[in-house]
Amino acid sequence: MAVRLLAKERDPADLAQRLIPKRDRWDFTFQKYYSRNSRPDRRSKATVADLLKDIREGRDELIEATIVKEVGALEIFLREWSIEALNAALAPGSASLNQKNQQRMQEALYSLMAKPYESVSLAKVGDLFPTLRSVLTGSTHLRALRPLLAPGTEDLTCQSVAGLWREVRNLILHHDAVVHSRFADNYGRIWSGLHTDARERGSTVRVLSPRVGRRLPVDTRHAVFCFTSCYQTAVVLHLATGADGTGQPQHLEA
Protein backbone atom coordinates (compact mmCIF):
# COMPACT_ATOMS: atom_id res chain seq x y z
CA MET A 1 0.00 0.00 0.00
CA ALA A 2 2.86 2.36 0.80
CA VAL A 3 4.45 1.65 -2.59
CA ARG A 4 1.16 2.28 -4.39
CA LEU A 5 0.71 5.59 -2.61
CA LEU A 6 4.26 6.64 -3.42
CA ALA A 7 3.85 5.60 -7.04
CA LYS A 8 1.04 8.12 -7.46
CA GLU A 9 3.37 10.90 -6.41
CA ARG A 10 6.59 9.90 -8.16
CA ASP A 11 7.83 8.68 -11.48
CA PRO A 12 8.13 4.84 -11.41
CA ALA A 13 11.77 4.93 -12.50
CA ASP A 14 12.61 7.44 -9.81
CA LEU A 15 10.71 5.37 -7.27
CA ALA A 16 12.69 2.23 -8.14
CA GLN A 17 15.93 4.14 -7.74
CA ARG A 18 14.88 5.25 -4.28
CA LEU A 19 13.41 1.96 -3.04
CA ILE A 20 16.25 -0.33 -4.17
CA PRO A 21 19.72 0.83 -3.07
CA LYS A 22 22.31 0.81 -5.83
CA ARG A 23 24.40 -1.87 -4.12
CA ASP A 24 21.39 -4.25 -4.22
CA ARG A 25 20.19 -3.68 -7.79
CA TRP A 26 22.57 -6.25 -9.25
CA ASP A 27 20.79 -9.00 -7.27
CA PHE A 28 17.50 -8.25 -9.02
CA THR A 29 18.63 -9.04 -12.57
CA PHE A 30 18.96 -12.14 -14.71
CA GLN A 31 22.70 -11.55 -14.77
CA LYS A 32 22.93 -13.61 -11.58
CA TYR A 33 20.52 -16.33 -12.70
CA TYR A 34 22.89 -19.27 -13.10
CA SER A 35 22.52 -22.69 -14.65
CA ARG A 36 21.63 -25.62 -12.43
CA ASN A 37 24.67 -27.46 -13.78
CA SER A 38 27.15 -24.69 -13.10
CA ARG A 39 30.29 -25.42 -11.15
CA PRO A 40 30.74 -23.30 -8.01
CA ASP A 41 34.02 -21.94 -9.38
CA ARG A 42 32.67 -21.34 -12.87
CA ARG A 43 29.09 -20.11 -13.02
CA SER A 44 27.39 -20.24 -16.41
CA LYS A 45 24.18 -18.57 -17.52
CA ALA A 46 20.89 -20.38 -17.02
CA THR A 47 19.40 -22.17 -20.01
CA VAL A 48 15.81 -22.22 -21.23
CA ALA A 49 15.51 -25.70 -19.69
CA ASP A 50 16.56 -24.27 -16.31
CA LEU A 51 13.93 -21.56 -16.61
CA LEU A 52 11.15 -24.01 -17.53
CA LYS A 53 12.10 -26.31 -14.66
CA ASP A 54 12.02 -23.43 -12.20
CA ILE A 55 8.63 -22.32 -13.52
CA ARG A 56 7.22 -25.84 -13.17
CA GLU A 57 8.54 -26.14 -9.62
CA GLY A 58 7.05 -22.77 -8.74
CA ARG A 59 3.71 -23.83 -10.19
CA ASP A 60 3.77 -27.10 -8.25
CA GLU A 61 4.57 -25.28 -5.01
CA LEU A 62 1.69 -22.88 -5.62
CA ILE A 63 -0.74 -25.78 -6.19
CA GLU A 64 0.49 -27.53 -3.06
CA ALA A 65 0.14 -24.33 -1.02
CA THR A 66 -3.42 -23.93 -2.32
CA ILE A 67 -4.33 -27.47 -1.22
CA VAL A 68 -2.76 -26.90 2.20
CA LYS A 69 -4.76 -23.70 2.66
CA GLU A 70 -8.05 -25.27 1.59
CA VAL A 71 -7.68 -28.30 3.88
CA GLY A 72 -6.69 -25.97 6.72
CA ALA A 73 -9.86 -23.95 6.15
CA LEU A 74 -11.95 -27.13 6.34
CA GLU A 75 -10.27 -28.11 9.62
CA ILE A 76 -11.04 -24.69 11.10
CA PHE A 77 -14.67 -25.10 10.01
CA LEU A 78 -14.80 -28.63 11.43
CA ARG A 79 -13.42 -27.46 14.75
CA GLU A 80 -15.93 -24.62 15.10
CA TRP A 81 -18.72 -26.91 13.93
CA SER A 82 -17.78 -29.53 16.54
CA ILE A 83 -17.86 -26.98 19.35
CA GLU A 84 -21.31 -25.78 18.31
CA ALA A 85 -22.64 -29.33 17.84
CA LEU A 86 -21.35 -30.48 21.25
CA ASN A 87 -22.78 -27.41 22.97
CA ALA A 88 -26.13 -28.07 21.32
CA ALA A 89 -26.10 -31.75 22.30
CA LEU A 90 -25.23 -30.93 25.93
CA ALA A 91 -27.65 -28.03 26.28
CA PRO A 92 -30.55 -28.48 28.74
CA GLY A 93 -33.65 -29.73 27.01
CA SER A 94 -31.78 -31.37 24.14
CA ALA A 95 -32.07 -35.07 23.30
CA SER A 96 -31.49 -37.27 26.33
CA LEU A 97 -28.01 -38.79 26.64
CA ASN A 98 -26.92 -41.68 28.75
CA GLN A 99 -24.23 -40.97 31.29
CA LYS A 100 -21.44 -42.51 29.21
CA ASN A 101 -22.20 -40.46 26.08
CA GLN A 102 -22.66 -37.30 28.08
CA GLN A 103 -19.28 -37.75 29.73
CA ARG A 104 -17.58 -38.46 26.39
CA MET A 105 -19.07 -35.32 24.88
CA GLN A 106 -18.13 -33.16 27.85
CA GLU A 107 -14.55 -34.43 27.70
CA ALA A 108 -14.40 -33.82 23.94
CA LEU A 109 -15.72 -30.28 24.37
CA TYR A 110 -13.27 -29.57 27.17
CA SER A 111 -10.40 -30.85 25.01
CA LEU A 112 -11.43 -28.62 22.10
CA MET A 113 -11.59 -25.55 24.32
CA ALA A 114 -8.35 -26.35 26.17
CA LYS A 115 -6.34 -27.14 23.02
CA PRO A 116 -7.18 -24.46 20.44
CA TYR A 117 -4.51 -25.64 17.98
CA GLU A 118 -5.39 -29.33 18.00
CA SER A 119 -6.99 -30.44 14.75
CA VAL A 120 -10.24 -32.39 14.60
CA SER A 121 -10.73 -35.31 12.24
CA LEU A 122 -13.98 -36.53 10.74
CA ALA A 123 -13.30 -39.92 12.33
CA LYS A 124 -13.29 -38.36 15.82
CA VAL A 125 -16.52 -36.51 15.10
CA GLY A 126 -18.07 -39.71 13.79
CA ASP A 127 -17.21 -41.49 17.06
CA LEU A 128 -19.19 -38.86 18.94
CA PHE A 129 -22.09 -38.75 16.48
CA PRO A 130 -22.67 -42.19 14.89
CA THR A 131 -25.59 -40.83 12.86
CA LEU A 132 -23.29 -38.30 11.24
CA ARG A 133 -20.67 -40.99 10.60
CA SER A 134 -23.17 -43.01 8.60
CA VAL A 135 -23.95 -39.92 6.53
CA LEU A 136 -20.29 -39.07 5.86
CA THR A 137 -19.41 -42.64 4.93
CA GLY A 138 -22.44 -43.01 2.68
CA SER A 139 -22.62 -39.72 0.76
CA THR A 140 -20.64 -38.61 -2.28
CA HIS A 141 -17.54 -36.42 -2.27
CA LEU A 142 -18.85 -34.60 -5.35
CA ARG A 143 -21.02 -31.53 -5.29
CA ALA A 144 -24.67 -32.49 -5.31
CA LEU A 145 -27.95 -30.60 -5.19
CA ARG A 146 -29.12 -32.98 -2.46
CA PRO A 147 -25.91 -34.14 -0.73
CA LEU A 148 -27.58 -36.34 1.85
CA LEU A 149 -29.36 -38.28 -0.91
CA ALA A 150 -26.31 -38.68 -3.17
CA PRO A 151 -24.55 -41.96 -2.29
CA GLY A 152 -20.81 -42.45 -2.63
CA THR A 153 -19.24 -44.94 -5.02
CA GLU A 154 -17.01 -47.77 -3.81
CA ASP A 155 -14.20 -46.21 -1.74
CA LEU A 156 -15.08 -42.64 -2.74
CA THR A 157 -17.25 -41.21 0.00
CA CYS A 158 -17.36 -37.80 1.61
CA GLN A 159 -15.30 -39.01 4.58
CA SER A 160 -12.75 -41.09 2.69
CA VAL A 161 -11.90 -38.38 0.14
CA ALA A 162 -11.79 -35.63 2.78
CA GLY A 163 -9.44 -37.89 4.73
CA LEU A 164 -7.32 -38.32 1.61
CA TRP A 165 -6.85 -34.57 1.19
CA ARG A 166 -5.98 -34.21 4.84
CA GLU A 167 -3.22 -36.79 4.41
CA VAL A 168 -2.07 -35.07 1.21
CA ARG A 169 -1.79 -31.86 3.24
CA ASN A 170 0.27 -33.67 5.88
CA LEU A 171 2.44 -35.18 3.16
CA ILE A 172 3.15 -31.73 1.73
CA LEU A 173 3.86 -30.08 5.07
CA HIS A 174 5.81 -32.81 6.83
CA HIS A 175 7.38 -34.91 4.08
CA ASP A 176 8.05 -32.40 1.28
CA ALA A 177 5.23 -34.12 -0.69
CA VAL A 178 7.33 -37.29 -0.94
CA VAL A 179 5.14 -40.41 -0.72
CA HIS A 180 5.89 -42.79 2.14
CA SER A 181 4.73 -46.38 2.52
CA ARG A 182 1.94 -45.60 5.00
CA PHE A 183 0.35 -43.11 2.60
CA ALA A 184 0.64 -45.54 -0.31
CA ASP A 185 -0.86 -48.39 1.70
CA ASN A 186 -3.72 -46.43 3.27
CA TYR A 187 -4.61 -43.95 0.55
CA GLY A 188 -3.12 -45.22 -2.71
CA ARG A 189 -6.34 -46.97 -3.68
CA ILE A 190 -8.47 -43.90 -2.91
CA TRP A 191 -6.05 -41.66 -4.86
CA SER A 192 -6.23 -43.92 -7.92
CA GLY A 193 -9.99 -44.34 -7.60
CA LEU A 194 -10.45 -40.58 -7.45
CA HIS A 195 -8.60 -40.19 -10.75
CA THR A 196 -10.42 -43.04 -12.46
CA ASP A 197 -13.77 -41.61 -11.39
CA ALA A 198 -12.77 -38.13 -12.61
CA ARG A 199 -11.77 -39.45 -16.03
CA GLU A 200 -15.05 -41.31 -16.35
CA ARG A 201 -16.77 -37.98 -15.74
CA GLY A 202 -14.81 -36.31 -18.55
CA SER A 203 -11.67 -35.01 -16.82
CA THR A 204 -8.36 -35.21 -18.66
CA VAL A 205 -6.35 -35.72 -15.46
CA ARG A 206 -3.69 -38.43 -15.75
CA VAL A 207 -4.08 -41.53 -13.59
CA LEU A 208 -0.75 -41.71 -11.75
CA SER A 209 -0.44 -43.97 -8.73
CA PRO A 210 1.58 -42.64 -5.77
CA ARG A 211 5.04 -44.20 -5.73
CA VAL A 212 6.96 -44.54 -2.49
CA GLY A 213 10.02 -42.29 -2.44
CA ARG A 214 8.70 -39.99 -5.18
CA ARG A 215 6.84 -36.70 -4.95
CA LEU A 216 3.08 -36.96 -5.16
CA PRO A 217 2.11 -35.92 -8.72
CA VAL A 218 -0.23 -32.94 -8.45
CA ASP A 219 -1.51 -30.45 -10.99
CA THR A 220 -4.15 -27.74 -11.14
CA ARG A 221 -6.97 -30.28 -11.38
CA HIS A 222 -6.08 -31.61 -7.95
CA ALA A 223 -6.66 -28.19 -6.44
CA VAL A 224 -10.14 -28.24 -8.01
CA PHE A 225 -10.78 -31.76 -6.71
CA CYS A 226 -9.71 -30.61 -3.24
CA PHE A 227 -12.00 -27.54 -3.36
CA THR A 228 -14.95 -29.71 -4.35
CA SER A 229 -14.38 -32.31 -1.65
CA CYS A 230 -13.87 -29.77 1.14
CA TYR A 231 -16.94 -27.80 0.06
CA GLN A 232 -19.07 -30.95 -0.08
CA THR A 233 -17.89 -32.03 3.38
CA ALA A 234 -18.84 -28.67 4.87
CA VAL A 235 -22.26 -28.78 3.20
CA VAL A 236 -22.95 -32.31 4.45
CA LEU A 237 -21.99 -31.31 8.00
CA HIS A 238 -24.21 -28.25 7.73
CA LEU A 239 -27.23 -30.19 6.52
CA ALA A 240 -26.74 -33.24 8.73
CA THR A 241 -27.23 -31.11 11.83
CA GLY A 242 -30.56 -29.79 10.58
CA ALA A 243 -29.04 -26.31 10.43
CA ASP A 244 -31.39 -23.44 9.80
CA GLY A 245 -30.83 -20.43 7.59
CA THR A 246 -28.45 -18.87 10.10
CA GLY A 247 -26.10 -21.83 9.91
CA GLN A 248 -26.52 -22.76 13.57
CA PRO A 249 -26.86 -26.50 14.34
CA GLN A 250 -30.27 -27.27 15.83
CA HIS A 251 -30.08 -30.93 16.72
CA LEU A 252 -27.83 -33.90 16.05
CA GLU A 253 -28.57 -37.37 17.30
CA ALA A 254 -25.72 -38.85 19.32
The DSSP output letter for 42 is B
Residues in the chain: 254
- Examine residue 31 and state whether it is found in any structural domain, yes or no: no
| Residue 122 forms part of a structural domain | yes
| Residue pLDDT, tens place only, 44-63 | 888 888 888 888 888 989 99
For residue 206, tell me if it sits in a domain. Answer: yes
Residues 139 and 148 sit within 8 Å (Cβ to Cβ)? yes
Domain assignment of residue 253, yes or no:
no
Nearest to 199 by CA among 223, 226, 225, 160: 225
Percent of the chain with pLDDT over 70: 87
The pTM of this model reads: 0.77
Q: Is the Cβ–Cβ distance between 89 and 252 less than 8 Å?
A: yes
Q: What is the pLDDT of residues 194-214, one digit of tens each?
A: 999 999 989 888 888 899 999
State how many domains the chain has: 1
pLDDT of residue 245: 41
**195: domain range?**
55-240
Residue 47, in any domain of the structure: no
Instruction: Give the H/E segment covering residue 96.
Output: none
Read off the pLDDT of residues 88-138 as tens digits, 9 standing for 90 and up: 888 887 667 778 888 888 898 898 888 888 788 888 888 888 888 888 998
- pLDDT band, very low/low/confident/very high, at 246 (cuts 50, 70, 90): very low
